[in-house]
Structure 1
Amino acid sequence: MANLLKTVVTGCSCPLLSSLGPCKVLPGKKDFLRTFHTHQALRCKSSVKPGIPYKQLTVGVPKEIFQNEKRVALSPAGVQALVKQGFNVVVESGAGEASKFSDDHYRAAGAQIQGTKEVLASDLVVKVRAPMLNPTLDSHEADLLKTSGTLISFIYPAQNPDLLNKLSKRKTTVLAMDQVPRVTIAQGYDALSSMANIAGYKAVVLAANHFGRFFTGQITAAGKVPPAKILIVGGGVAGLASAGAAKSMGAIVRGFDTRAAALEQFKSLGAEPLEVDLKESGEGQGGYAKEMSKEFIEAEMKLFAQQCKEVDILISTALIPGKKAPVLFKKEMIESMKEGSVVVDLAAEAGGNFETTKPGELYVHKGITHIGYTDLPSRMATQASTLYSNNITKLLKAISPDKDNFYYEVKDDFDFGTMGHVIRGTVVMKDGEVIFPAPTPKNIPQGAPVKQKTVAELEAEKAATISPFTRTMTTASAYTAIFIYIKYIE
């Protein structure tokens, strides 16, 4: 046994055991020696886990300094989740006040309250808005980040090359929440969709607030009230949220999108899908529609011009990633609307879909109320912060599932819809090196061809989308006509 133990010790690469020298067996100590040496030998063979222990990492939550920004990157519930995972969390004093989260709430969740510089110097900083110049400190937030630290925030790398240069000098690793791939596995961390959902809902609430009538149609003793007619352009998350909210309030909702799948979603919410005569697929990548042909755009503009004369409220959400928002409604089209109508431009921050939009402003142009706010999610700060916090905590747990260490691997070789796809798409800078945009994933599923509907099918669908108000009025009119006819023949 002694010779065997000597072989184990001298053959082990572990410095601790190699320094023990020859084993000497003492009387009555054989069992102890065997246990000690066997334990140490097993430790030699175990591999060291990659990454850094969570308890050695600090997550910083600074206060947002962008004008009128009321959101905060982590809610107290989000802090509690990260503390439970093992992270240390520091929150800037007053960071959550605008979202109705006090410093005491954060302390109760396990966070420490510190100053701006201390928070920005954390190992991992989470923000809502991209880093910018802090006028109080007269320093750019990027310059205050820890060297070789990690930043998680909305970044929009294609539009902010100067910011990327600043972050590169700090050797920062950047996870852009706006670049999370829109695939099934990443739905829980898709912050763009979370914020778009809030913006779509808030757009309808604001439109109702500035519209002079009910949304729902009513028949009262004082007279008949027609329902409001609403056109929503864009069947993404924001557009569908608007459609659902407007429909629940009793309005007649029409939806337009260049993608057949989006039109089907409009229909599922009870909205009337609008199409142009020209057949052309608008399916693009990343959850967005592609740019259409000149002929299609001309047919589209003709449809919009006609709708402007009919509807009471316009809500537009059309965006092109990395580019200025397309102008879909010309000045003369807006001026053709009925006085008292309302238009809400959810693409205002990117220039706007209405030629008459003034980004960030609410104003009236020839009797038409224009809502061009660029901070709709921030106007529901508590809800927006809660959802954004959930996106971040779920993302951190997903990319680093290890229970003890924080670690994830960025690979250029990955399949579509996998966690490798999510990580590579989200990480836009690695240790100061810009790696945006991500390479094309492998095994991209091919969508099934869209079957074109017949005229009879389209007419049947249109008949099925008649609103309850219209159906009631039609039935009432029919009964009235029959009653008059009976009285006449008597």
Structure 2
Amino acid sequence: MIVGILKEQHGDKRVSLLPEQAQALAAKKVQVMVESNAGAAAFASDDAYRAVHIPTVSRKELLQQSDVLLSIHPLSTTDLELIKPHAVVIGVFQPLFNHALMKEWAQRSLTTFSLDMIPRTTRAQSMDVLSSQANIAGYRSVLLAATLFPRYFPMFMTAAGSIAPAKVLILGAGVAGLQAIATARRLGAVVEVSDTRPAVKEEVMSLGAKFIEVDGAADASKAGGYAVEQTEEYKQKQQERLAASVAKSDIIITTAQIPGKKAPLLISEAMLDTMKPGSVIIDLAASTGGNVFAARNNETVQRNGVTIVGNSNLAADMPFDASKLYGKNVLNFLQLITGADAGLQLNFDDDIVKGSCITHGGNIVHERVEQLVGSSYA
């Protein structure tokens, strides 16, 4: 079995496996090759791969020869024309949003594993790419906000006068949100947090932040750690409660997403108009519509003196550690689908293998994705 590591496109600086991780895979008798310069932006040169006996090849050669392709983002149409029939593709493909693309891949007889669909169970924690990358995104979001904010984060008492600490509002207390809380607190900010799941209140408070409570949230206990769709009545209450916090906030970081659905709009146009000039918003949900009015993915927007950054790929701005953590997730997953003879061995009785497999044998095999494709063509 040949595993090929592709260079990420569109400016993503990460790589699926760093040299030492590729070496660990090769030690199990799996043949590994890497596209030239795939790891350069993550400070892993071609020489570093060759030093551990991993050959570097052209993209065309890698696509044509690999049985398993590692690519964080979806492949291009040009790439698909070159790959082997029945090849396996592993990455983070957001199939609940890209279900039309998944249909095309199924028609090409690709076997697709999307690691963002791995069930969030205890056994799957070592393969949880969403958590490993969200942790980095939460950290980076606060640092980015601090560089854009025209004031200090911590309180300072000087001979020239006192500086009040920055007021930070974080929407969503998942992995990214909790790391954002911890980072903002380390920088000396006063932090408030809103989340639809009352169960996270204790974690939020343990990090030194204030939890904004809104009664009447839908039960999310069976959603695998994700947020769920809320009633219109709850949304109205939430908006009213958030409005006061938004108006006094210097920094807002939004992380709220619902799998397979457009991100909920939490900060309206009217709320934005109450914010002070110089305030900064980082919207980590921008790729699925955003939590903030006027946010655009991969763009920075200025509105009445408020800086709004739409970026759902902040982990890629810390490419070495992001690649290291992602690569470890990938190695752990590859162990599940690799037999003792270093060949491909797919056990669809395994809930992790089944839950992350989107296309196989010319069909869409993931139930939720299949339903979305069906509804699109009904």
TM-score of the pair, normalised by structure 2: 0.93
Work out whether residues 73 and 127 of structure 1, in 8 Å CA contact, stay in contact via their aligned partners in 2.
yes
Q: Flag the structure with larger Rg.
A: 1
Of residues 126, 130, 144, the one that matches 2:74 is: 130
Partner of 2:375: none
Q: Does 1:389 align with 2:323?
A: no
State the SS of the aligned residue for 2:307: strand
Work out whether residues 313 and 343 of structure 1, in 8 Å CA contact, stay in contact via their aligned partners in 2.
yes
Work out whether residues 285 and 311 of structure 2, in 8 Å CA contact, stay in contact via their aligned partners in 1.
no
Offset of residue 405 of structure 1: 4.8
Partner of 1:106: 49
Partner of 1:64: 8
Which structure 2 residues correspond to residues 4-403 of structure 1 after superposition, within 5 A? Answer: 57-65=1-9, 67-121=10-64, 122-133=66-77, 139=78, 141-278=79-216, 280-400=218-338, 402=340
Q: Determine the C-alpha separation between the residues in 1 that align with 2:207 and 2:340.
A: 41
Q: Determine the C-alpha separation between the residues in 2 that align with 1:401 and 1:265.
A: 40
Cα 1:278–1:427 change in 2 (3 A) is closer
Q: After TM superposition, what 4+ stretches of structure 1 lie above 3 angstroms from structure 2?
A: 277-284, 398-406
Q: Determine the C-alpha separation between the residues in 1 that align with 2:185 and 2:272.
A: 23
Offset of residue 432 of structure 1: 2.4
Of residues 422, 438, 441, the one that matches 2:352 is: 422
TM-score of the pair, normalised by structure 1: 0.72
Task: List gaps (5 residues or longer) in structure 2.
Answer: 370-378
Offset of residue 318 of structure 1: 0.8
Q: Determine the C-alpha separation between the residues in 1 that align with 2:55 and 2:341.
A: 23
RMSD: 1.8
Offset of residue 279 of structure 1: 5.8
State the SS of the aligned residue for 2:302: strand
Q: Determine the C-alpha separation between the residues in 2 that align with 1:275 and 1:102.
A: 49
- Which amino acid in the other structure matches residue 116 of structure 1? R
Deviations, residues 378-400 of structure 1 (Å, cap 9, x unaligned)? 11122211111111011112444
Offset of residue 433 of structure 1: 2.1
Partner of 1:433: 363
State the SS of the aligned residue for 2:89: strand
Offset of residue 402 of structure 1: 3.4
Structure number with higher relative contact order (C-alpha < 8 Å, ≥ 6 residues apart): 2
- Which amino acid in the other structure matches residue 131 of structure 1? L
Work out whether residues 284 and 290 of structure 1, in 8 Å CA contact, stay in contact via their aligned partners in 2.
no
Offset of residue 219 of structure 1: 1.8
State the SS of the aligned residue for 1:370: strand
Deviations, residues 14-43 of structure 1 (Å, cap 9, x unaligned)? xxxxxxxxxxxxxxxxxxxxxxxxxxxxxx
- Which amino acid in the other structure matches residue 327 of structure 1? L
Q: Determine the C-alpha separation between the residues in 2 that align with 1:308 and 1:279.
A: 20
State the SS of the aligned residue for 1:147: coil
Work out whether residues 36 and 56 of structure 2, in 8 Å CA contact, stay in contact via their aligned partners in 1.
yes
Q: Determine the C-alpha separation between the residues in 2 that align with 1:160 and 1:389.
A: 23
State the SS of the aligned residue for 1:152: strand
Q: Determine the C-alpha separation between the residues in 1 that align with 2:337 and 2:202.
A: 33
Deviations, residues 330-385 of structure 1 (Å, cap 9, x unaligned)? 11101101121111101111111111212211132101111112431111122211
Identity, % of aligned positions: 38
Bigger shift: residues 179-188 or 423-432: 423-432
Q: Determine the C-alpha separation between the residues in 2 that align with 1:375 and 1:318.
A: 14
Deviations, residues 67-86 of structure 1 (Å, cap 9, x unaligned)? 22221111112101101111
- Which amino acid in the other structure matches residue 179 of structure 2? A
Q: Determine the C-alpha separation between the residues in 1 that align with 2:362 and 2:325.
A: 29
State the SS of the aligned residue for 1:261: helix
Deviations, residues 300-330 of structure 1 (Å, cap 9, x unaligned)? 0001111112221111111111121111111
Bigger shift: residues 341-350 or 258-267: 258-267
Offset of residue 215 of structure 1: 1.2
Q: Determine the C-alpha separation between the residues in 2 that align with 1:105 and 1:393.
A: 19
Work out whether residues 107 and 363 of structure 2, in 8 Å CA contact, stay in contact via their aligned partners in 1.
no
Number of residue equivalences: 368
Work out whether residues 176 and 426 of structure 1, in 8 Å CA contact, stay in contact via their aligned partners in 2.
yes
Cα 1:265–1:221 change in 2 (3 A) is same
- Which amino acid in the other structure matches residue 310 of structure 1? K
State the SS of the aligned residue for 1:85: coil
Work out whether residues 233 and 318 of structure 1, in 8 Å CA contact, stay in contact via their aligned partners in 2.
yes
State the SS of the aligned residue for 1:159: coil
Work out whether residues 64 and 95 of structure 1, in 8 Å CA contact, stay in contact via their aligned partners in 2.
yes
Task: List gaps (5 residues or longer) in structure 1.
Answer: 1-56, 134-138, 412-419, 440-490
